[in-house]
Chains A and B, each alone.
Chain A
């Protein structure tokens, strides 16, 4: 047994939702390096436990796991109670990494897939954020990192089901940032472009545009440290999306994006 298993969580703690994703793992590592206690929550319990154990061994920090289903919003209040129990209080930070991307053509034919995408990416995220952020606001302390997507910046035929849920999430987070602007609570909106993860593997994306999870994790961590509000991963996506967003409609509609 590891000695860290007998440790207690510190007040420097973060809750990571959707912790089994490669990006979540890559974000968790720099926080663990910094000495943060980590509570990892995901729908895949076994895989989540392996990721937690890996973090305990590598960084000798307190790290525990919880089952979490983003789409089951009725379970969220009870889930947050468990979080409080595990951490002896609210976490200092919240990282939202869960997300679901259906195959566009399949989703167009099957509304169940569309609903699932909305339930996870938007409703699930808002349900958690709204509850946790209120607490942060009350304490005037805390931070949230929310992984949205460049796909939310403009609806495109190749990926608008996923894109629209991320677009809604982006708008929601912008609202939160506005609401919290006079407090010390930081909400970091992350808009990754293509990342080299299981979600994009096999799509044959240009390697130059891909960010490895480790790269992404470090970029996000640094942006959080610098108290940034919005970050693109990698930086050039800001300009790519700027162009895509500002293409006149008659041009845009002719593209295959």
Chain B
């Protein structure tokens, strides 16, 4: 039986390129299995909400399996807080259902519009990485449909090689049918947030060390246009989940259900100047001045997902899109970070969102991104000279032993990938063991040389 598919041009969140592929959207397990048996298709890749920035969730000339209709909760253990759900379930759904009952995901990235399948495939991290690690740390087990068509149960004890290859494995090991994760118990859905207005990078890094011991959640926003002695000025945020006593009286009787504000949608592609040098400069100064050193109690979603209220905010960067550049430099050395930031400032390439965070130790995920050290993430609009600029950044990254986050990458070369992710061969070996026919592939995997070239002809 052939399952209908739609031929579509899709992009990553950065809207940088729109390659064509066939998209399936199964609603039942039986259909999902049938889709993967379709012999017309050279290879498959699961896709969720498409929030990875580059070409991680794209498969040009092959098939994508849209997982969003496989979003059912399969089991819930209220005593232990263990949730089992399908791979297409989103963090938004988990928060909507379980936060009012006092449970939330251990790891929330900057958006709740991600699926658990995608969260595992990219081993996503959040503001609490230094304390609680990345998403994979809280995954108990999952069922994976592998390239040979089997349903393989993976955990730390069972098929552990496949388990750790899949965590951060950008979807190449197969399709995650269902997942068992540990949720975190909370007393309120509010955060106590401390803001610190740092005058420059040294000030910020110094204070960040202190904040990392005081707060389970920390992150810093940098004004990457500030020059000279102000280089690296920014706002440091340290947060912890509020206790009921912390709340103002009007929130006390409903501590787990904050009022929701209405979403706003960006209705069209913004013109090029909207996030140009000047506007970002004005915004940065305004934002910096606005956030004086102080503390605040804010709803959890506002703390985690400030951009989620603006639906389709990626259109702010206009028709040509943008890329994200997220690098991590290992250890306590901040030299690489400083050089990169200086380069960013002198080149005066506006980044609307520049975010700095110190990671705790990484996990055993073979291609998992986080490792002990400093990570910096920036947006770069797709203006002329983009690739040259990124090449410059890459040189700094390589020189200081950094590596890039695959969920954000769009331009890395295969040699750079092989150099910065030395365990890629180990990954490939496990992939071949479970998927000898290379039934799972992606545009990114082929670009960075993570898997061999496609042997079969593309279908579109």
Please encode chain A, from 201 to 241, with 1 for each CB lying within 8 Å of some chain B CB and 0 for all others.
11110000000000000000000000000000000000000
With a cutoff of 8 Å between Cβ atoms, the chain A residues found around residue B30 in the complex are 44, 47
Contact pick for B76, options A20, A44, A57, A202, CB 8 Å: A57
Across the interface, do A54 and B74 meet the contact criterion of CB distance under 8 Å?
A: yes
Taking the closest CB of chain B, its distance from the CB of A195, in whole angstroms, is: 12
Across the interface, do B72 and A50 meet the contact criterion of CB distance under 8 Å?
A: yes
Please encode chain B, from 63 to 76, with 1 for each CB lying within 8 Å of some chain A CB and 0 for all others.
00000010011111
Inter-chain CA distance A44–B76, complex, in Å, is 23
Across the interface, do B72 and A53 meet the contact criterion of CB distance under 8 Å?
A: yes
Across the interface, do B5 and A20 meet the contact criterion of CB distance under 8 Å?
A: no
Taking the closest CB of chain A, its distance from the CB of B190, in whole angstroms, is: 23
Q: A58-B97, A202-B5 are in contact. Are A22 and B28 (CB under 8 A)?
A: no
Contact residues, B116-151 vs A (CB, 8 A): none
With a cutoff of 8 Å between Cβ atoms, the chain B residues found around residue A53 in the complex are 72-75
Taking the closest CB of chain A, its distance from the CB of B182, in whole angstroms, is: 16
A46 at the interface (CB under 8 A from B): yes
With a cutoff of 8 Å between Cβ atoms, the chain A residues found around residue B28 in the complex are 20, 44, 47
Across the interface, do A3 and B75 meet the contact criterion of CB distance under 8 Å?
A: no
Nearest-neighbor residue (CB-CB) of B31 within chain A: A198
Q: Which residue among B25, B27, B30, B97 has the maximum number of chain A CB atoms within 10 Å of its CB? A: B27
With a cutoff of 8 Å between Cβ atoms, the chain A residues found around residue B385 in the complex are none
A27 at the interface (CB under 8 A from B): no
29 CB-based A-B contacts, threshold 8 Å: A2-B75, A2-B78, A3-B78, A20-B28, A44-B28, A44-B30, A46-B29, A47-B30, A50-B29, A50-B72, A50-B74, A53-B72, A53-B73, A53-B74, A53-B75, A54-B72, A54-B73, A57-B73, A57-B76, A57-B97, A58-B73, A58-B97, A198-B25, A198-B27, A198-B31, A201-B4, A202-B4, A202-B5, A203-B4
A39 at the interface (CB under 8 A from B): no
Q: A20-B28, A46-B29, A201-B25 are in contact. Are A51 and B69 (CB under 8 A)?
A: no
Q: Which residue among B4, B31, B75, B76 has the maximum number of chain A CB atoms within 10 Å of its CB? A: B76
**Leading 4 A-B pairs by shortest Cβ distance:** A202-B4, A54-B72, A57-B73, A57-B76
Mark A residues whose CB is within 8 Å of B: 2-3, 20, 22, 44, 46-47, 50-51, 53-54, 57-58, 197-198, 201-204
Inter-chain CA distance A203–B4, complex, in Å, is 8
B333 at the interface (CB under 8 A from A): no
Nearest-neighbor residue (CB-CB) of A196 within chain B: B25
Inter-chain CA distance A47–B4, complex, in Å, is 20
B419 at the interface (CB under 8 A from A): no
Taking the closest CB of chain B, its distance from the CB of A47, in whole angstroms, is: 5
With a cutoff of 8 Å between Cβ atoms, the chain B residues found around residue A198 in the complex are 25, 27, 31
With a cutoff of 8 Å between Cβ atoms, the chain B residues found around residue A197 in the complex are 27
B6 at the interface (CB under 8 A from A): yes
Inter-chain CA distance A138–B73, complex, in Å, is 39
Nearest-neighbor residue (CB-CB) of B2 within chain A: A202
With a cutoff of 8 Å between Cβ atoms, the chain A residues found around residue B31 in the complex are 198
Contact residues, B23-60 vs A (CB, 8 A): 25, 27-31
Inter-chain CA distance A3–B101, complex, in Å, is 14
Nearest-neighbor residue (CB-CB) of A213 within chain B: B69
Instruction: Add 8 more A-B contacts to A20-B28, A47-B29 (CB < 8 A).
Output: A44-B30, A46-B29, A47-B28, A54-B73, A54-B74, A58-B73, A58-B97, A198-B31
With a cutoff of 8 Å between Cβ atoms, the chain B residues found around residue A46 in the complex are 29
Nearest-neighbor residue (CB-CB) of B25 within chain A: A201
Inter-chain CA distance A22–B88, complex, in Å, is 15
Contact pick for A204, options B6, B72, B76, CB 8 Å: B6
Inter-chain CA distance A53–B27, complex, in Å, is 16
With a cutoff of 8 Å between Cβ atoms, the chain B residues found around residue A203 in the complex are 4
Taking the closest CB of chain B, its distance from the CB of A21, in whole angstroms, is: 8
